Structure 1
Amino acid sequence: MVLPTRQNVEKVLEHFNRKDGVIVVKGKELRERDDTDVEVDFRQESSFYYLTGVAEPGFYVVIDVATKRIQLFAPPVNPDDVVWMGYPDSLETLQTKYDVDEALYTTDLDARLKEASAVYTIPHFNLTFKDEAIKSASTEDNDALYAAISEARIVKADWEIEVMRKANKISSDAHVKVMEAAKTGINEAELYAIFLNESNRNGAFFQSYMPIFGAGMNAATLHYNKNNATIENATDMILVDAGCEYNYYASDITRTFPVGGKFTEEAATIYSIVLDMQKACFAELKAGAKWEDIHTVALEVAAEGLIKTGIIVGEKQELLDKDVVAAFFPHGIGHMIGIDVHDVPKYCTSVERIDRPSYRYLRMRRTLAAGNVVTVEPGIYFCEFMIDPVVKAEETKKYINVDILNKYKSVGGVRIEDNLVVTEDGYVNLTTAPKEIAEIEALMAEASSKKRKLE
């Protein structure tokens, strides 16, 4: 199947307010590990893949702004490479394999660029041309190109959403396998291996990011990735933040569950608060919603839940105004996701960050549009590094009941994360991994029963 990447090119050109010249985007080169002849795993540059669908090294693409003509430039045939890697696709094959008008070799690239009235490229490529006849565009023009690619990428086509649905299905099934395998005495690394195996056997050979398998207090570290502790206690909660990449599109899913399959009263209480946070955010999710407003909803629900437990004390609005809740929920509510797990643009250049503990780690501030795909990932964590300053500060220590806080600390951390497509009047949830307490306990109880029968 030829990916319809010409649609992506046309979307970029709609956002790129220039009338002539050419866009040149460079694919990644194959690299070797230091002082070896062993290749580093190759992963194509995301914007290049978005424009071409090419997952091979050494390519360029040239797009004529006025005519929309797309030319793919392939590395010339290298006899040494043929010996080790096999014969590459011919130019004729490349033209039929990808959604382009013409395939050429990179030996013809400079000649093509010399013909152009201006040559635009993505700023972070730092492409320089030795031939002075090539008219490199200004920094302003190149910045505008990057902005155009970013804006195009964050509104997904139907076919992109279907690829992401597949990535979510593979990852959701892998999360289920991890829940079924959990037991006392198992190591975080063993659960990690189970997730990788389930991903690989379903054709997802890359992970979207370094997975997190944190049990007990390890779950209180947001990006814990040592993934090597043995899980001793049946009551320990395990936070699994893992998602495969399928055909270059990411998934990013978090589930938290008890190793013994049964939530303690304290764990169930905190978990229910986080699930309520997520559901409240879902209710606000639609085209036209502001991302920071959705984050505010999560903070409000967290405050209500933590007040009810007695962990924090005071009026809800005062606790929010003093950023007390940020000690337990320090990160943003989520981010864009697509070809990259933290998809572009990471932050709108037209708005400033909100410089407050409750908001400063938001990964974006923007009004959502239909076709955006976002993660919604609220959490509550008992990280002493974050909580202790609030407990010790004269201004805020009155807001924390330390005795009740100590009762809940062993929960470690809870995060629940799904991937959602924004629609005009709501959302579509791509993530299918179970997350209701009853679902998780029933799933794990059935798995435990099967294990006993096999023993």
Structure 2
Amino acid sequence: MSHAAQDPRIPALYAEHIQACQARAERALSLSGHDALLVASGVEKYAFLDDRPYLFQPNPHFKAWLPLVAHPYSWLLVRPGQKPLLVYYQPDDYWHVPPAPPAGYWVEHVELRVISEPEQALQHLPADVSRVAIVGEADAALQHLVPNNPDALIHSLHWARASKTPYEVQCLREASRIGARAHRAARDAFLAGGSEAEIHRAYLIAAGHTDRDLPYGNIVGLNEHAAVLHYQYQDTARPAQSRSLLVDAGAQVSGYASDITRTWTRGDADSAEFDALLAAMESAQLALVGEVRNGVDYREIHLSTHRHIARILREQGLVAMSEEAMLAERVTSTFFPHGIGHFLGLQVHDVGGFMASEAGGTRAKPDGHPYLRLTRDLAPGMCVTIEPGLYFIPTLLNKLRATPAAKSVDWAKVERLARFGGIRIEDDVVCQAEGAPENLTRDAFASLA
């Protein structure tokens, strides 16, 4: 797990961040009618009939306050006007490496109690929780400390969390820097003829991560595998011919994720036709990034993406229809079946993407676009992904063949390009109060050049 502590700006940024967390919590408590907020970090979970735990995933509400991502059985108590109380679980364990003693830029900002058994938390937390909002999963309950997750409080916290503090943006910048470095290593492994598994290992080494540290499982697809949106395997055998590589992979810093996708080819004569398509998608992706502006309805960026895809399909000679007709008949959804992106932060698909207001509610997705993960108006500090794709997915192409639009498709060209699977280009982008957004991903790649 990478931490941002080595950055000299982090201590001051974190001090501001925890003040923002306190203010957000106090507002949420006032809305829900509670006196205090108690957050469970979570518990280790075990496979059925086994003593082998799953990888621990902390409660995001816990790591919103603290850069602690491998700390089950801990608790955070937040009270208006008081320093947060952290009950820090550090077992005396010779079977595993326990959490290190509390240290770092965050320690001075909490009242600290260290325990060696989960039940010892009861000695430090309220006996009467009738007016305490307890946030966590049901299995995090400890005797009378039972999560109740009040809707009004959760909605308020999720609404506020969409806009990142300067500390959070700095963690996201560092995660992008690590991710960009690892993507470069993955590309080099591909050009050297590596298998998907070898490319994945090159990524991990360059990132300084293990699989445990990744914010999500790496998608490493060669050739036709690039057409599987969430391709979940990594073949150990090298293909007879490596034509293309799609890598969707991130890094994690102090609990904050990057989420980057790049598509590569060998750039030889065999890939010339696909490279032209890739170049067109690169231009469209940069134009879409430019649409991330304060006050813009994110749904409009998604619909704009379909217009770009329609233009590319026409200009590249894949579909001989007007762009308007392609949109009306949803031909573009065959080639671009997912959403343009999502919130990014403590979770790869960060919360609050569909909220109508701080009080909750749902802001609808555009008709015919069920997979969009964000429908909010953009505001300063929001970090979003912009990830247009153009794929040759057999099951969707077969459905297109059964429609009247099929006669307008150059199926021979589709078959030639299908050998390369598809294209996805994804950047992590922070909305600014005025002007163009900050493109964390492009800045990270530029710093490596």
TM range, normalised to the smaller chain? 0.7 to 0.9
**1:203-352 mapped onto 2 (5 Å cutoff):** 206-228=213-235, 229-233=237-241, 236-259=243-266, 264-348=271-355, 349-352=361-364
- 1:60 is matched with 75
Q: 1:135 to 1:180 in 2, by over 3 A?
A: closer
- Residues 75 and 87 of structure 2 are in contact (CA less than 8 Å); yes or no, is this contact kept in structure 1? yes
- 1:99 is matched with 109
Higher mean displacement: 151-160 or 23-32:
23-32
TM-score relative to the length of structure 1: 0.82
- Residues 285 and 422 of structure 1 are in contact (CA less than 8 Å); yes or no, is this contact kept in structure 2? yes
> Following TM superposition, by how much is the alpha carbon of 1:49 offset from its aligned partner in structure 2, in angstroms?
1.2
Percent identity of the aligned residues?
25
TM-score relative to the length of structure 2: 0.83
Q: Which amino acid is 1:158 matched to?
A: P
- Residues 238 and 258 of structure 1 are in contact (CA less than 8 Å); yes or no, is this contact kept in structure 2? yes
CA displacement, residues 371-406 of structure 1 (integer Å, 9 cap, x when unaligned): 011111101001121122112124x32442323333
Q: 1:433 to 1:183 in 2, by over 3 A?
A: farther
- 1:121 is matched with 134
Question: 2:45 and 2:140 mapped to 1: Cα distance?
Answer: 18
Residue 78 of structure 2 aligns to a residue in which SS? strand
Question: 1:87 and 1:218 mapped to 2: Cα distance?
Answer: 39
Q: Which has the larger radius of gyration?
A: 1
> Following TM superposition, by how much is the alpha carbon of 1:301 offset from its aligned partner in structure 2, in angstroms?
1.0
The unaligned stretches of length 5 or more in structure 1 are 444-455
Aligned match for 1:71, one of 71, 80, 85: 85
- 2:413 is matched with 404
Aligned match for 2:21, one of 5, 8, 21: 8
Q: Does 1:154 align with 2:165?
A: no
Q: 1:123 to 1:73 in 2, by over 3 A?
A: closer
Q: Which amino acid is 2:418 matched to?
A: K
Question: 2:187 and 2:104 mapped to 1: Cα distance?
Answer: 43
CA displacement, residues 136-167 of structure 1 (integer Å, 9 cap, x when unaligned): 86x7xx11222222123221111111111111
Question: 2:163 and 2:240 mapped to 1: Cα distance?
Answer: 45
- 1:163 is matched with 171
- 1:360 is matched with 370
- Residues 137 and 147 of structure 2 are in contact (CA less than 8 Å); yes or no, is this contact kept in structure 1? no
- 2:206 is matched with 198
- 2:386 is matched with 376
- 2:422 is matched with 413
Residue 178 of structure 1 aligns to a residue in which SS? helix
Higher mean displacement: 224-233 or 102-111:
102-111
Q: 1:367 to 1:68 in 2, by over 3 A?
A: farther
- Residues 255 and 435 of structure 1 are in contact (CA less than 8 Å); yes or no, is this contact kept in structure 2? no
Q: 1:324 to 1:60 in 2, by over 3 A?
A: same
Q: Which amino acid is 2:415 matched to?
A: N
> Following TM superposition, by how much is the alpha carbon of 1:89 offset from its aligned partner in structure 2, in angstroms?
7.2
Question: 2:441 and 2:158 mapped to 1: Cα distance?
Answer: 24
- 1:453 is matched with none
Q: Does 1:109 align with 2:116?
A: no
- Residues 188 and 215 of structure 1 are in contact (CA less than 8 Å); yes or no, is this contact kept in structure 2? yes
Q: 1:295 to 1:114 in 2, by over 3 A?
A: same
- Residues 157 and 371 of structure 1 are in contact (CA less than 8 Å); yes or no, is this contact kept in structure 2? yes
Q: 1:310 to 1:95 in 2, by over 3 A?
A: closer
Q: 1:54 to 1:189 in 2, by over 3 A?
A: closer
Residue 364 of structure 2 aligns to a residue in which SS? coil
Q: 1:427 to 1:218 in 2, by over 3 A?
A: same
Q: 1:19 to 1:281 in 2, by over 3 A?
A: same
Q: Which amino acid is 2:399 matched to?
A: P
- Residues 121 and 145 of structure 1 are in contact (CA less than 8 Å); yes or no, is this contact kept in structure 2? no
Residue 72 of structure 1 aligns to a residue in which SS? strand
Residue 380 of structure 1 aligns to a residue in which SS? strand
Q: 1:94 to 1:115 in 2, by over 3 A?
A: farther
- Residues 182 and 260 of structure 1 are in contact (CA less than 8 Å); yes or no, is this contact kept in structure 2? no
> Following TM superposition, by how much is the alpha carbon of 1:351 offset from its aligned partner in structure 2, in angstroms?
1.4
Q: 1:128 to 1:225 in 2, by over 3 A?
A: closer
Aligned match for 2:38, one of 21, 24, 34: 24
Question: 1:368 and 1:125 mapped to 2: Cα distance?
Answer: 33
- Residues 353 and 375 of structure 2 are in contact (CA less than 8 Å); yes or no, is this contact kept in structure 1? no
Q: Which amino acid is 2:63 matched to?
A: Y
Question: 1:375 and 1:293 mapped to 2: Cα distance?
Answer: 14
Question: 2:428 and 2:296 mapped to 1: Cα distance?
Answer: 17
Report the count of equivalent residues: 423
Question: 2:207 and 2:400 mapped to 1: Cα distance?
Answer: 41
RMSD (Å) for aligned C-alpha atoms: 3.3
- 1:448 is matched with none
